[in-house]
Homo-oligomer: A and B are copies of this chain.
Amino acid sequence: MSEALEPGATIGILGGGQLGRMLSVAAGRLGYATHVYDPSATVPAAEMARHQTAASFDDIPALTRFAQSVDVVTYEFENIPTAALDVLEDLRPVRPGRRALQVSQDRLTEKAFLRDLGLNTAPFAAVDDTDSMHVALAEIGAPGILKTRRLGYDGKGQVRIMTPGDAPEALSAMQGAPAILEGFVDFSHEVSVIAARGMSGDVACFDPGENVHRDGILRTTTVPARLSPAQRTDAVLMAAKILNALDYIGVMGVELFVTAGGLVVNEIAPRVHNSGHWTQNGCAVDQFEQHIRAVTGQPLGDGGRFADVVMENLIGDDMDRLPELRAEQDVAIHLYGKAETRRGRKMGHVNRVKR
């Protein structure tokens, strides 16, 4: 196995949101300095990092200086432009690697990758124009959901198609962007596996969590999830298959639908994941530390869980509930230091720990 980075080394983090912030804190706990790169100067991660660069992802000189100042580069979001990667990869290791980004930046590529691995996904077809929309609808039928292939998150860039008559309006909502039509999956609930793979190829998974969304945004994750022992094993094996196929290094979030016919992969995220925040108060090594361990070449924690936890996101006006949350027992509050509360904006989360 390769040598782990020694304390004192610097980890570059692309993206300065709450995930970057919590990664930075975890890195500091392991003795590493961090350098956060984000187009905005006032980002949640900045005050928890030793160094900060405020520059766009197409600023080649800034990217170059950033890479030269760090020992390894990682990221908190998957939409890193390819040109930026070209610059960074020439200078320092980027972990997780490019393959994971290529696959996850494009919903069509991702679905095809998963299908080729033999994993179940929602039925899907590419939609670029009216013709391909007709073909896709004929194949998949309605209801379905039309999504942009790139850059959607938290339900953005998605339109439901309940009947074929909805198709033209849905297509025009894509504004000419390449899209994918996905058939509905009849699932009872959604779970996610927060999986990690280290530099020696070892894989460790946290206990799957059960997710509840509202308006396309994650509301709560509960561990343990409602899964049979066989489903639990399946979930972990599927995640490991994905990580191994990508020669992945780091933490990945794998969202799975639980259906009568087995587990169906919804999507993957090549980074720490909102549905893994519960690990901060249920495990000795949480997902953020696990990711830092992986990208610095350390052995992984085993993901062992010592408490039941319910994670709840604090979104927008949920911040008004702070006084009650503070007075509740066994609630760990995690705020992101965002100055402005906006509708639909993730402001923080709480972990309710069951003794």
Contacts and interface: CB of A to CB of B under 8 A. Distances in A.
Interface stretch (A62-70, A87-95, A107-115, A301-309): A301-309
Contacts of A329: 284, 301-302, 304
A337 B25 CA distance: 11
Contact of A47 (B49, B327, B330, B337): B49
A354 B329 CA distance: 22
Contacts of A337: 7-8, 28, 31-33
A348 interface: yes
A330 to B, nearest CB: 5
A83 interface: no
A241 B10 CA distance: 46
Interface stretch (A171-179, A260-268, A318-326): A318-326
Q: Chain A: interface residue count, which band? A: 35 or more
A353 B33 contact: no
Nearest to A323: B4
A48 interface: yes
A333 interface: yes
B47 A284 contact: no
A316 to B, nearest CB: 14
A333 B47 contact: no
Contacts of A354: 306
A40 to B, nearest CB: 15
A99 to B, nearest CB: 27
B306 A353 contact: yes
A50 interface: yes
A355 interface: yes
A332 B285 contact: yes
A326 B353 contact: no
A351 interface: yes
Contact of A326 (B8, B25, B293, B307): B293
Contact of A351 (B284, B319, B348): B284
Given A50-B47, A304-B330, A307-B307, A339 B8 contact: yes
A313 interface: no
A298 interface: yes
A326 B304 contact: no
A322 B5 CA distance: 11
B284 A330 contact: yes
Given A293-B326, A306-B306, A28 B7 contact: no
A25 to B, nearest CB: 6
Contacts of A284: 281, 329-332, 351, 353
Interface string A46-59: 01111000000000
A339 B307 CA distance: 35
A327 B353 CA distance: 26
Given A4-B326, A7-B319, A29-B333, 20 more contacts: A4-B323, A7-B335, A25-B28, A28-B47, A28-B335, A29-B334, A31-B335, A31-B337, A33-B47, A48-B48, A284-B329, A284-B331, A299-B327, A301-B329, A301-B330, A304-B329, A306-B306, A306-B330, A306-B354, A306-B355
